[in-house]
Amino acid sequence: MGMTLAEKILAAHAGLDQVHPGQFVEVDVDIVLANDITAPIAIREFEKLGVTRVFDPDRVVLVADHFVPNKDILSAEQCVQMRQFARAQGLAHYFDVGRMGIEHVLLPEQGLVVPGDVVVGADSHTCTYGALGAFATGMGSTDIAVAMATGRIWMRVPETIRIVYHGTLRPWVGGKDLILYTIGQIGVNGANYKAIEFAGPTIDALSMDGRFTMANMAIEAGAKAGLFAVDETTRAYVEGRARRPYRVYPPDRDANYAQIIQIDVSDLEPQVAFPHLPSNIRPVSQAGEVPVDQVVIGSCTNGRLEDLRVAAEILRGRRVHPAVRCIIIPGSQQVYLDSLREGLIEVFLTAGAAVSTPTCGPCLGGHMGVLAAGERAVSTTNRNFRGRMGHPESQVYLAGPAVAAAAAVAGQIIHPDHL
Amino acid sequence: MIIKGTVWKYGDHIDTDVIIPARYLNLSTPEELARHCMEDIDPHFASAVQKGDIIVAGENFGCGSSREHAPLAIKGAGVSCVVARSFARIFYRNAINIGLPILECPAAVEETEMGHQLEIDLEAGRIRNLITGRVYQAEPYPPFMLQILNAGGLIAYTRQVLAGAGPQRESARSSSPAQARPSAAYRIAVLPGDGIGSEVIAEAEKVLQAVSERFGHQFVLEYGLVGGAAMAATGHPLPAETLALCKSAHAILFGAVGDPRYDDPRSPVRPEQAILGLRKELGLFANLRPVWVHPALADASPVRPDRVDGVDFIIVRELTGGIYFGQPRVEGTEQAVDTMVYTRAEVERIAHVAFQLARKRRRKVSSVDKANVLACSRLWRSVVTEVTREYPDVELEHLLVDAASMHLIRRPRDFDVILTENLFGDILSDEASVLSGSMGMLPSASLGEDSRGLYEPVHGSAPDIAGRSIANPLAAILSVAMLLRHSLHLEEEARAVEIAVATVLEAGYRTPDIAPPGSPTVSTRQMGDRIVDALRSM
């Protein structure tokens, strides 16, 4: 029987010729990941296992990104735990302030994840690496503790939904709009327990950064993983970065899909997710008048160079609206440096935006842009749950970098063409 | 374990950010996290929740972030169980890993309100609303997850696996979950039925018990009425309680149905309807009947011993389509009509079962049809031919049913997997049963899309010999082996049962049906005891 991309990668890592949805398999993992808020629990559970060493110090990656630079004493102590563990275990890939990035921007950029990998991370947005043709999925800290110790993890082989996109994208429409629209169509649990395979002519023409954004938000539809087949775009990105040789697994033509969804995106407008679910989608033209107090551009969803270029294109020669705080967060030190060299940082500062060192900070209401009661934010992040960015009575509207930058200028949600 | 507590009810899509807001993720102990649990949607929860209380919620509970802080906060708050319509994937896994009981049960969620009292039997997955008196059955856990739950969470489970295999990557690779031996409560519905059904099932239970002791598994056996016994008690051959029991079990062990008290074939209600009802309700579309002639029994076969020695094949019969179910159906005295219908999807799924089975055997499938006459058979043949392309390593032959019925007697050793439709399968499997010398030796399995299956001896209720302890329990015991293999994925345990049966036969023990005339025999009970002894001495 033909296999989907997810099934092929899992079969290869389980040492089996064939796997089928619903089957429980134990797979070898290529990379195990945790961050400053999930690692402390993982380390605590790891120690209960009675194991002294991680399975491979080159394959356990720890990144301080959520509450760094440390927002308070407790966060600082969590980072100390992680730092000490990394040193004691001799981990090759521990990333601290000044060298770090938001984990899901950082790992692909540094060539730590390559096509065909199985990656498990104690962060739900680990699914981002599906853009590289890897099977990557988020888990809790206890699972990560076991993976750190054994290099293996159990999984239920997911069914796969294939989503095929047709048509050429209009100006200001990108990966974020494709994935928001898709979540609006299938719902926040439309792919629960399943993998999504993104495909079609629109995807073939989509940049890597756009693909990372889409794979990143597969979890917002409940998916275990969101995958893209490897093509020339992937190879060009991986070239010169990959730290390990990699394998490419194409899905079989006769693979068995739980569902195949065809979407024509020729007429798709920029999309906005209204509070309090990522599936609460409206095209920007139907957003109505939504005044905005804060705009955040960044995160593991939209903190890459291409996202900042789009934002700069809109902010160049314009001013952030007097009623708005616009916070721009490059996703990694490298993205920051590239933005600086391209002159983007100057554009942002001239426009009246704040530029921050890489951090997850405001996305989850941690720091660097927490909202007060009644405040509204347009954010390029991935979740708009109640209280996600601060006070339970605050509101988050999710959008791509173009709509977010336009909202920063206009002081309300607006189509970038209408500035 | 029985839990009793007051309900806190919430809606759909309760995300991990509201279960524990991210601003508290600089904390990591359950007690600290519990103080802020649910505070953004229900400021009273954290202060008013009592130890043992139960959260009841709608769809997709725990969606969003992977933070284990969410189930830890709930557990730290003293909540004893979360019942929801459905759970987000990562939360479900986290809860099992840390030992927070969770149950999926849409019906209970529907009818339970804030402040109701629930009593939950976690092992059986039964939820009783003490206010309304209603009882609900939750979805069973997959057997693999039960192993983790019963070990006391993932850390304890992994410690067991590592203790058996050492912490190195290479050795961890060789230790599959099935090889770990934590205790695990597998729920098995036992439906003895009529006649000798209850006699042979009693022996099968003894064997399950012996497997449980030998391998450290926990089998929870729950009994249901079926067939004539059920008609006598409830008026219906498949009472609703029995059906619910089967739906909540990992596997069903079935004896036999058929009762002379209800023997009129024109009666609208008959004991035999129970098995048809179970197949339909549980979506059991594939019937597996292994035919295996033990060398020690070659003499019991009416076919020459040199032809049957070494016979080992399995018949895969499509169970829910074809002429037994096609419409229209017209009864008549001058003319009557039956209709044979097959769809592509029906043929595809049964063909996959056969090919996958062949891969674990000698990699040969013999597909049986009547393509020279029947349109259904021509569709069958073309779909099976398509499916075989996905199994290039498996040899496929097509046989017409008339030829197949002759080959079954003339060269039975040549068969590995016989794939056929409902009517032909019904006939051929009875023909094949003769090879082994006695129906009393033949087990069967009926499987659906998931791993749940129904296992039963091929023989009927045999009312003529019921109550005399002369029935052969080996078919029922070999059905237990199939149950262990196909539904519980306990291959080693299944093989142990089969080896025990072979050992006992080699030692010469025979029930009357397989004994040469005039030679000594053992009773049903004695045969069961011999198998148990063989298992214990392995």
Whole-number pLDDT of residue A24: 87
Asked if B169 and A192 come within 8 Å (Cβ–Cβ), the reply is no
Q: Which of A263, A290, A305 is the last residue of a domain?
A: A263
pLDDT tens column, A150-168: 999 999 999 999 999 999 9
Contact assignment for A366 to B22 by CB distance below 8 Å: yes
What does pTM read for this prediction? 0.71
Report the chain B residue with the minimal C-alpha distance to residue A47: B155
Task: Give the mean pLDDT of B13-17.
Answer: 95
Q: Is the dihedral of CA A4, A5, A6, A7 positive or negative?
A: positive
Beta carbons of B21 and B126 less than 8 angstroms apart = no
Q: Which residues contact B293 (CB under 8 A, 6 or more apart)?
A: B301, B308, B309, B310, B311, B312, B435, B436, B437
A136: pLDDT strictly greater than 90:
yes
| Tally of structural domains, chain A | 2
Together in a domain, A87 and A153: yes
Over 80: is that where the pLDDT of B181 sits? no
**How much is the pLDDT for A96?**
97
Res B410: pLDDT: 92
Q: Which of residues A228 and B430 earns the better pLDDT score? A: A228
How crowded is residue B202: how many other Cβ atoms within 10 Å of its Cβ?
18
Per the annotation, the verdict on B414 as an active-site residue is no
The rounded distance, in Å, linking the Cα atoms of B362 and A126 is 42
Query: What would you measure as the largest C-alpha separation in chain A, in angstroms?
Result: 61
Does residue B430 carry a catalytic annotation?
A: yes
Q: How far is CA B396 from CA B354, B360, B391, B399, in A?
A: 11, 15, 9, 10
Same domain, A212 and A259: yes
Residue A95 has pLDDT above 60, yes or no: yes
Residue of B nearest to A42 (CA): B68
Select from B26, B155, B173 the Cβ nearest to the Cβ of A72: B26
Q: Which CATH architecture has domain B302-436?
A: 3-Layer(aba) Sandwich (3.40)
Provide the pLDDT for residue B489.
86
- Give the containing element (helix H, strand E) for B84: strand B81-84
Contacts of A38 in chain B (CB under 8 A): 66-68
What is the pLDDT at residue A185?
Answer: 97
**Span between the terminal Cα atoms of chain B, in Å:** 33
Q: Quick one: CATH architecture of B2-139? A: Alpha-Beta Barrel (3.20)
pLDDT at A377: 98
Q: Quickly list DSSP for B202-268.
A: HHHHHHHHHHHHHHT-EEEEEE---THHHHHHHS-SS-HHHHHHHHTSSEEEEEE---GGG--TT-S
How many Å apart are CA B273 and CA B277, to the nearest integer?
A: 6
Burial grade of B326 (CB within 10 A; 0-12, 13-18, 19 or more) = middle
pLDDT tens string B91-113: 999 999 998 999 999 999 999 99
Element (H or E) spanning A62, and its range? strand A60-63
Q: Measured between CA atoms, how close is B99 to chain A, in angstroms?
A: 11
Subunit contact A140:B68, Cβ cutoff 8 A: yes
pLDDT on residue B177: 39
Would the pLDDT of B167 be above 70? no
| CB pairs < 8 Å spanning A and B | 165
Q: Please give the angle made by the CA atoms of B443, B446 and B447, to the nearest 5 degrees.
A: 135
CB A374 within 8 A of CB A393: yes
Q: Which residues of B touch A37 (CB under 8 A)?
A: 25-26, 67, 69
Asked if pLDDT for residue B170 goes beyond 50, the answer is no
**8 Å CB contact of A149 and B71:** no
A310 has a pLDDT exceeding 90: yes
Q: Are A144 and A31 contained in the same domain? A: yes
Q: What confidence tens digit (pLDDT) does each residue in B382-411 have?
A: 999 999 998 989 999 999 999 999 999 999
Please state, in angstroms and rounded to a whole number, the distance separating the CA atoms of residues A245 and B453.
44
pLDDT at B56 over 70: yes
- In the predicted model, what is the mean pLDDT of residues A102-117? 98
Q: Which of B28, B161, B359, B388 to mutate to test the interface with A (most CBs of A within 10 A)?
A: B28
pLDDT in tens, B334-374: 999 999 999 999 999 999 999 999 998 999 999 999 999 99
Q: What ranges do the domains of chain B cover? A: 2-139, 140-182, 184-286+465-538, 302-436
Which of A263, A279, A301 terminates a domain? The answer is A263
pLDDT averaged over every residue in chain B: 90
ipTM over 0.95: no
B426 is catalytic: yes
> How far is A340 from chain B, CA to nearest CA, in Å?
31
CATH of B184-286+465-538, one of 1.10.10.10, 3.30.230.30, 2.40.110.10, 3.40.718.10: 3.40.718.10
Peptide bond preceding A276: is omega within 30 degrees of 0, i.e. cis? yes
- With CA atoms as reference, the chain A residue closest to B174 would be A26
Chain segment A174-227, per-residue pLDDT in tens = 999 999 999 999 999 999 999 999 999 999 999 999 999 999 999 999 999 999
Predicted confidence (pLDDT) at residue B192 exceeds the cutoff of 50: yes
Q: What is the pLDDT of residue B164?
A: 66
What residues does B273 pair with on adjacent strands? none
CA distance linking residue B352 with residue B371, whole number of Å = 20
Domain membership of residue A343 as a residue range: 271-418
In this complex, the residue of B86, B90, B158 whose CB is nearest that of residue A150 is B158
- In this prediction, residues B488-506 reach a mean pLDDT of 92
Cis peptide before B302 (omega within 30 of 0): no
A337-365 residue pLDDT tens = 999 999 999 999 999 999 999 999 999 99
Same fold, B2-139 and B302-436: no
Same domain membership, residue A129 and residue A26:
yes
Q: Indicate which residue of B17, B426, B529, B533 is catalytic.
A: B426
Phi and psi torsions of A111, nearest 5°: 70, 20
Residue where one domain finishes, among candidates A230, A263, A296: A263
Q: A248 and A332: one domain?
A: no
**pLDDT tens figures, A246-293:** 999 988 988 999 999 999 999 999 999 999 999 999 999 999 999 999
Label the pairing between strands A31-35 and A159-166: unpaired
| Beta-sheet pairing, A194-199 with B364-369 | unpaired
Q: In angstroms, what separates the C-alpha of B78 from chain A's closest C-alpha? A: 20
* Domain match, A156 and A198 both: yes
Q: Is B309 a catalytic residue?
A: no
Tell whether A283 and A380 lie within a shared domain. Answer: yes
The enclosing domain of A317 has a CATH number of 3.30.499.10
